[in-house]
A and B are shown apart, each in its own frame.
Chain A
């Protein structure tokens, strides 16, 4: 039983059931691997459409900008393809440059691959909050409690360290230096400042945990599959079959 077995919206729990973290993770993992192995655009495209849509349906606010980023990156992919794979029959002759078959195919394949990876990743993070994922990994995939602690602690520290970094950058500016650390010396001093601040907290957090009995901590383990899990597994199998057979 989790604190909210459904969707957490504005601090209230809406009891809509969700698939299990482990199932969706393995789904995304398998499809990510698949993306790397596929070579034909026509095999990748339907998968991209399906997963991108799913991710947008589940949480478009969280992930729409990812696809925008990839669109921007695709320009770079296109340029690369033109430079290094521009062979085969002519497809397009603009007068300035010629686009040939293989360049176009390469561009499309790579872009689709990237989109598929981003798409399944987006689906995963659209469904779950980072903390949910950490708890899911611990419970369902038996991630060790210590690693779970490291990650939860990282999440706990995130706003604090962001503020520390801002203060470091402001102090730099005040003292008449470049705000952003770029040279090795600057990077070094910034990192040192951040780490020392964080480590000091960590030491005392550790003492407190030790005295609260962390050594005895055994997280709950177990996984229970629901209807959504079955659907996701079915979708996975369908996509695998499609990709290999078509």
Chain B
């Protein structure tokens, strides 16, 4: 029992991990609703690109945060998927479409840890994992707003989203270090 524990324990989820995910889910569910106001307020001042760089990353942040905190495979994905699921079961304009974002962004962010074989949960991984969800986010937006989405601006938007995601990924790493040592 004891000899194999350390390795096994590193991969299996305990009931506490799922409760932690619940905490992350509710914290972000609350933050997401508050952050929309911030987004629109900043948008009035800085326009679409600047705003995205400064604020959009928050929506990708649950992935590196959950992964840095729980440090088990798929924790990043669940960190993004569960808040999205919560959004889908409460009245929100996005409705079920929130789930698409949650799943796609979650998987994209998860890839940031998978490519390191789940052996590293450092600041680099957090940055990458925060930036990757920008891709499906943009794709899903494009599918929805297809007819009026300017293709030439897409590259710029993608860059803005990825930068923002990476920045918030770094913040996530910082938060996780403060919380984990406790």
Contact = CB atoms under 8 A, between A and B. Distances in A.
Interface centre among B65, B95, B99 (most CB of A within 10 A): B95
A161 B27 contact: yes
A47 interface: no
Contacts of B93: 66, 69-70, 73, 114, 118, 121
A130 B82 contact: no
Contact of A150 (B58, B65, B82): B82
B171 A184 contact: yes
A233 B123 CA distance: 48
Q: How large is the interface on A (under 10, 10 to 19, 20 to 34, 35 or more residues)?
A: 35 or more
A83 B149 CA distance: 10
Q: Is the interface of B mostly helix, strand, loop or mixed?
A: helix
A199 interface: yes
A196 interface: yes
A94 B146 CA distance: 26
Q: Is the interface of A mostly helix, strand, loop or mixed?
A: helix
Interface string B117-154: 00000000000000000000000000111111110000
B105 to A, nearest CB: 17
A205 interface: yes
26 contacts: A28-B95, A32-B95, A32-B96, A63-B91, A80-B145, A110-B147, A122-B91, A124-B96, A125-B89, A125-B90, A149-B18, A150-B21, A150-B82, A151-B82, A151-B85, A151-B86, A152-B22, A153-B23, A153-B26, A154-B22, A154-B86, A195-B175, A199-B179, A203-B19, A205-B19, A210-B14
Interface of A: 25, 28-29, 32, 36, 39, 62-63, 66, 69-70, 73, 77, 80-81, 83-85, 102-103, 105-107, 109-110, 113-114, 117-122, 124-126, 128, 130, 133-134, 146-147, 149-155, 157-158, 161-162, 165, 180, 182, 184, 187-188, 191-192, 194-196, 198-199, 201-203, 205-207, 209-210, 214-215
